[in-house]
Amino acid sequence: MKEMIEPKAKFPWGTLILSALAFLCAGVLVQRYVFGLGAMTNMSDGRGWGLWISFDLYCGVALAAGGFTLAAIVHIFHMEKYHPVVRPAILTAFLGYLLVVLALLVDLGQPWYIWRMIFNPNIHSPLYEVGWCVMLYTAVLALELSPAVFERLHWRIPLKIIGFIQIPLIIAGIVISTGHQNSLGSMLLIMTHSIDPLWYTPIIPALFFVSAMAVGPAMVVFEGTLSGAVFGHKISREVFTGLGRITSGILVVYLIMRLADLAVAGQLDMLFNRYPQNIYWWIEVGGGVILPIILFNIPKVQQSSKGMFIAAVLYIVLGLSLNRFIMSSIWLVIRPGYTYFPSWQEFAVSIGLVAWALMMFQIAVRLLPITKHHDEGESKSEHSAPEAAAAS
C-alpha cells in the first residue's frame, strides 16, 4: 500500500490493466450485438439468467446502497461527522447504477425495445418496479451529484436551485432506492420452488432491504481505505469506527431476522442436516455476518485500518455478494439436462464494466470536488481547486 501513495514515481500498471479490460469488454460487446446472446454466453433455456443478473444487477445494486445510506445518515439523521464521505458514496452509487443500466442493456435480448415497458405496464410484476427504480434513482443520483459539477464550473444559479430542492431530492432518493432493494427481493419471491428452502422465505424483500442498509457504510469503509491509499487523502479514524458500528448494528438486526425466519418456518434443523447447502449458509452467515459483527466491535480492530477493511470486505463479499449469488444462481434449481457456468465473454463484460466504472471514478475524483468539499450549499471550489492541485 505504501508504494501506491506515491503514484507519480510508478509506471501506471493499474490504469493500463483497467484500460485493457475495458477495451476487451468493448470488443466482446460488438460480438454480442452482431452475433446474438447465444454466440457468446453460456446461458441456455435451462438457465435464462446468468452472471450478469447475479453480479451486475443483484450485487451491483446492493453495493451501490452506500448512496442512500450515507445521504440518509448525513442529511436526514444529521450526523454531521460523516459529511466528508457523502460525496464519494454518492459518486460510487451513481457509477454503480450506470453500470447496472449498461449491464441490463447487454443482458436484455432486445434492448432497443426497452421503451415498451413504459407503454405496456404490468403493475403486478416486481421487475416492473425494478425497472422504474433503476431509471428514477439513476436520475436522482445524477442530480445529487450535480452540485460537484456546478461547483467546479462555478455555476451559481443551478447550484442554488439544487440546494433548494436538495432535501426533497434526497428523501425521494431514499424512498426509491430502498424500494429498489426490496423489489429485487420481491423478484425472487416468484421462484417459490427453485430457490433452496434454506434461503426462500416470504420476507426476502425485507432481508434484501436490511442487508443493503448494512452494506452502505461497509462500502464506504472499503472504498475509503482504497481511495485513501490511491489518492492519499485521509478519512478520520472516528468516521471509520462509527461506520463500522453502524454496519454491525444493522447486521445484528439482519442476523436476528434470518434466524427468526428459519425458526418460525420450523427449519432451523436444516442448518445442520441440509448438506451441502448448509455449508454455503454457514460460510455466508457465519463468515459474512457473524464474524464482521464481532470484528467491528473489537477495540483493537477499530484502531487498525487493515482490521476495519477486512471486516468490511468479509461482509461485502461473503455476507452480501455470496447471498445474492446463492439466491439468483448457485442454489437456484436448473432445468433437468442443463448446466451453467459463465463463459469468458460473460466474465469479460462484467469485469470490463467494473473497469470502466473505476476509471470514471478516478477521473471524477481528479476533476471534481468529491473528496475535498465541506459544504454543498456554498461554492467552495475556489479554494478547493488549488488544494487539489497541490495534493496531486
Partner 1 sequence: MAYGVLFDGTRCIGCRACSVACKSWNENSAKVEKKTSVEGGIQGKAVVSSDTFTFMRYREIGEGDDFKWAFAKIQCMHCLKPGCETACIVGALHRNKETGAVTYDQGKCIGCRYCMVACPFGIPTYQWEDRTPWIRKCTFCSDRLNEAENGMAPACVTACPTRALQFGERDELIEEAHKRIEESKAADPAGVGKYIDHVYGEKEVGGTAWMYISSVDMTELDLPWLSEEPVTKNARTAMSLLPYYATGMLALMVGIYFITKRRQKIAAGKHEEKKG
Does 12 interact with partner 1 (rule: CB under 8 A)? no
> Which positions from 266 to 305 touch partner 1 by CB under 8 A, shown as an x/- string?
----------------------------------------
| Residue 143: CB minimum distance to partner 1, A | 17
Does 36 interact with partner 1 (rule: CB under 8 A)? yes
| Residue 349: CB minimum distance to partner 1, A | 16
Ranges within 112-151 binding partner 1 (CB under 8 A): 113-114, 116-117, 120-129, 131
Does 181 interact with partner 1 (rule: CB under 8 A)? no
* Piece in contact with partner 1 (CB under 8 A), picked from 59-67, 140-148, 175-183, 375-383: 175-183
| Residue 197: CB minimum distance to partner 1, A | 11
> Which positions from 320 to 339 touch partner 1 by CB under 8 A, shown as an x/- string?
------------x--xxxx-
Q: Which is nearer to partner 1, 114 or 290 (CB)?
A: 114
Ranges within 185-244 binding partner 1 (CB under 8 A): 185-187, 189-194, 202, 205
* Piece in contact with partner 1 (CB under 8 A), picked from 4-12, 174-182, 227-235, 377-385: 174-182
| Residue 226: CB minimum distance to partner 1, A | 30
Helix axes 204-231 and 156-189, enclosed angle (nearest 10): 130
Residue with C-alpha cell 436526514? 76
Using CB under 8 A, pick the residue from 26, 108, 253, 263 that binds partner 1.
108
| Residue 93: CB minimum distance to partner 1, A | 17
Does 390 interact with partner 1 (rule: CB under 8 A)? no
Query: What is the rounded CA–CA span in Å between residue 304 and residue 240?
Result: 10
In angstroms, how far is the first alpha carbon of the chain from the final one? 17
| Residue 150: CB minimum distance to partner 1, A | 23
Q: Which is nearer to partner 1, 122 or 273 (CB)?
A: 122
Using CB under 8 A, pick the residue from 4, 49, 152, 277 that binds partner 1.
49
Using CB under 8 A, pick the residue from 63, 75, 295, 326 that binds partner 1.
75
Per-residue CA distances from 266 to 85, 155, 198, 262, 358 (Å):
42, 60, 11, 6, 44
Q: Which is nearer to partner 1, 131 or 319 (CB)?
A: 131
Helix axes 381-391 and 126-153, enclosed angle (nearest 10): 90
Return the number of other C-beta atoms located less than 10 Å from residue 292's C-beta.
26
Beta-bridge partners for 332: 195
Q: Which is nearer to partner 1, 56 or 223 (CB)?
A: 56
Does 367 interact with partner 1 (rule: CB under 8 A)? no
**Binding residues vs partner 1 (CB under 8 A):** 33-39, 43-46, 48-49, 72, 75-78, 107-111, 113-114, 116-117, 120-129, 131, 167, 171, 174-175, 178-179, 182-183, 185-187, 189-194, 202, 205, 332, 335-338
